[in-house]
Structure 1
Amino acid sequence: MDATISPALLVDRVLQTRNNQTSQDAQIGLLKKAMDMQASASAALLNAVAGDLPLASDGSLGTQVNALV
């Protein structure tokens, strides 16, 4: 069994690894931007839906707490 490695093959593998890492870094960066945009859009949507809702001040719905244990 020959354990020698061709220098050209070694250089090729190192370059492939670097290119793959660069590609993965770019993909992760794009994914992070997309997630940030989605989080921002979700927060804006929730804020628009919730708004400033008044609290109940009369009646039995939302004004009484059953604290019996």
Structure 2
Amino acid sequence: MSALTTVSPSTVNNASSAPAGTVQGAAALMVLRKSMDLQAAGAMQLIQSLPQAPALATSGQLGTQLNVYA
């Protein structure tokens, strides 16, 4: 499992201070978007690695009237 990384402040600063409509500006925004995509993929991987909740009781006398998790 990969570690969750955050978008660095310098990446955000570069993207926000790059001149709009220039190659530099487009490249800075592409780097920012790629960083955010990688961060989202890492977060999704962490969420998917969480264990599933146990199945709730559907029959019998125990656990069918009120389900409580401690």
TM-score under structure 2 length normalisation: 0.51
Distance in 1 separating the partners of 2:34 and 2:28: 10
- Residue of structure 1 in register with 2:15 after alignment: none
1:61 aligns with 2:62: no
In angstroms, what is the RMSD of aligned CA positions?
1.7
Distance in 1 separating the partners of 2:54 and 2:67: 13
1:1-69 matches, within 5 Å, as 20=19, 21-49=22-50, 51-57=51-57, 58-59=62-63, 60-61=66-67
How many residue pairs are counted as aligned between the two chains? Answer: 42
Partner SS for 1:61:
coil
Distance in 2 separating the partners of 1:45 and 1:54: 19
Q: Which has the higher helix share?
A: 1
1:3-24 Cα distance to aligned partner (Å, 9 max, x none):
xxxxxxxxxxxxxxxxx41111
Higher relative contact order (Cα pairs below 8 Å, separated by 6+ residues): 2
The percentage of aligned residue pairs carrying the same residue is 24
Gaps of 5+ in 2: 1-18
Larger Rg: 1
